[in-house]
Each structure stands twice: as C-alpha cells, then as structure tokens.
Amino acid sequence: MPRIAVLDDYQSVAKDFCDWSQVPDAEVVEFHDHLVDEDAVAERLQPFDVVIAMRERTEFRRSLLERLPNLRLLVTTGMRNKSIDLDAATALGIPVCGTAVSSISTAELTWGLILAVARHIPQEDASVRAGGWQQTVGMDLAGARLGVVGLGRLGSQIAPIGLAFGMDVVAWSQNLTDERAAEVGVRRVERDELFATSDVVTVHLLLSKRTRGLIGADDIALMKHTAILINTSRGPIVEQQALLDALHQGTIRGAGLDVYDQEPLPLDHPLRSAPRTVLTPHLGYVTRNTYETFYREAVEDVAAYLAGAPLRVLA
C-alpha cells in the first residue's frame, strides 16, 4: 500500500477538493504545518512513497532527496518549481510530475493589491472599526500610467485590466519587442522610462539567475514619490533592502507585496513593520478553482504513475 504525504495543506482542504478514490489502496496523510529545518522534513517524509508538494513551499534539495530512500514519486503543483532540484531527482531515479496552473487568480490578486494601496483600503477599514472616519486621500487610476515589468502570460492578463480602468499602459522586459507589446495593446518603453514615469509599477517575471535582484535601488530611485510598487511574482526579483529604504524614507507612495525573499515570512521580518505596505501571504494562486485543479491533477499523476504510465513528467 503506497503512502502519500500531502505537504503544506495550510487550509486543510486537500481531502475535500478532489476525488482520492483513484488511489483507493493508498494511505494519504496531510500535513498542515510548514517545516523549514531539513532534518525535520527528512524525518517526517522518510516513510512515504509519494510526496505531493504545494508550489514552492518546501525545498527539495539533493541533500534532502538523498535522505528519502522510500520516495518513488514527487508531485509538484504547477509545471515549474524552483524549490526542487530536478537534476538530483533524475540522478536518484525519482520522477517528478506537475499539474496545470492558471495565472488568472494571481492577476486578480494583483489588482486587489493595486486598489488596496491606491485607496488605502486596509487603513480605512481599521479606522472605521476603531470608530474613525475618512483618514486618507486616495489615488486615481484613470489617467495614471501602469508600468508592467514582464509581458508574459501574467503580465498580458494585467495590462488589459489597466486599459479598462482608463490607464496608460506601458511595458518593459529584457526581451520584449514592440510587436509583442502591440499585440497586447500596450507600448514598449525602455526600463528607465517605465520606472521614472509610471504611477504603478507591477512586476511579472519568472525568477531566474538573470532576474534575481533585477529591480534594485537605482530603479526604485527613479520612481515618483507618488508611485506604487506591486510584486506578485517572486520576492527575490526586487532587492528587499532597497524597497525597505524607499518605504521608510517615503520616496515612493507604497508597495503591495504577495511574495518575499523568505516564505513564510519570519515573525521578525522588517517588512512586517514597514510603513506604506499592504502584505498578503503568497495568495496569488490560493483560490478554490486553482486548488481543485492542483489536487485533482496531483491525484491523476499518482494514479498514472502507479499504473505505469506517468503524466506531466518534469524530470
């Protein structure tokens, strides 16, 4: 009987969001807490034949994979996972399979953060609950400029919504062409122009060696003091200290963040006390539809592997 570990099921929904009858003989164990220490993770997972990982919450380095002698299959939700050493998994004979993922839920959250920062929604909510009334003055989006850093799948969903708000939408990335920008209905500009002229800068890039730390102090220094920075992509793309300095010095209006250098965010992390911020705990993909897809296809992956015909193999 295969033993299946479902990791980082924070909301305790894994059992309810899909049909596990496809693996009727399996013992399924959900873990609702998050372990950071590799020794603790190794001890927990040693008995399991199959591990289902939720996005990039738990790292699977070579050093961990080598300590899991019973592991026969590793399933990740989504088709990319920077937290899994795919080369090591291949070398150790551990197949890695993925699932489909939709980016629309992240696009929706991005706009939630933009509106929350622009209109000071968390502050005004707290004020009303405390007996206050109208503490801030908001920012109009109509007529403002939206700068989209990265016009891939997610950036291409963000841009039309900006146009619907009546915003002037521009975009930049290292490989973006005028033709590609025009296909989305926006205009390509140079990097410095985007940061210097945009009222909202929103980041939508994949994390790689090239993009790690891509947005730094020089870019943030170009931004208007009335501008907003949004990051729902990956935390390390934006230099954390440069952003913290800008927030504390008031050189930008604010920031809306869903992603961080460390996740979960440590209790003493300086962003927790940073001014002019709206922070969410990496909720971009956390919706019912997305979770149902994740878990349904994860179970399909397990069933297919056990039947000798693995699906969506990444390594």
| Catalytic (active site) residue 282 | yes
Query: Given the DSSP bridges, would you call strands 145-149 and 27-30 parallel, antiparallel or unpaired?
Result: unpaired
| Catalytic (active site) residue 180 | no
Residue 51 Ramachandran class (φ > 0 left, ψ -120 to 50 alpha, else beta): beta
What CA–CA distances, in Å, run from 286 to 103, 138, 232, 281, 297?
A: 11, 28, 12, 10, 16
113: helix, coil or strand? helix
Say how many residues make up the chain: 315
The single residue of 55, 188, 234, 253 carrying the catalytic annotation is 234
Q: Is the peptide bond before 270 cis (omega within 30 degrees of 0)?
A: no
Q: Which of 32, 41, 34 is nearest to 9 (CA)?
A: 32
Name the residue type at position 43. E
The single residue of 30, 108, 263, 292 carrying the catalytic annotation is 263
What CA–CA distances, in Å, run from 279 to 81, 112, 113, 216?
A: 23, 11, 8, 20
What DSSP string describes 256-310? EES--SSSSPPTT-GGGG-SSEEE-SS-TT-SHHHHHHHHHHHHHHHHHHHTT--
d(CA 199, CA 188): 16
The single residue of 55, 120, 145, 282 carrying the catalytic annotation is 282
List beta partners, residue 257. 231, 279
Please give the positions annotated as active site: 234, 263, 282
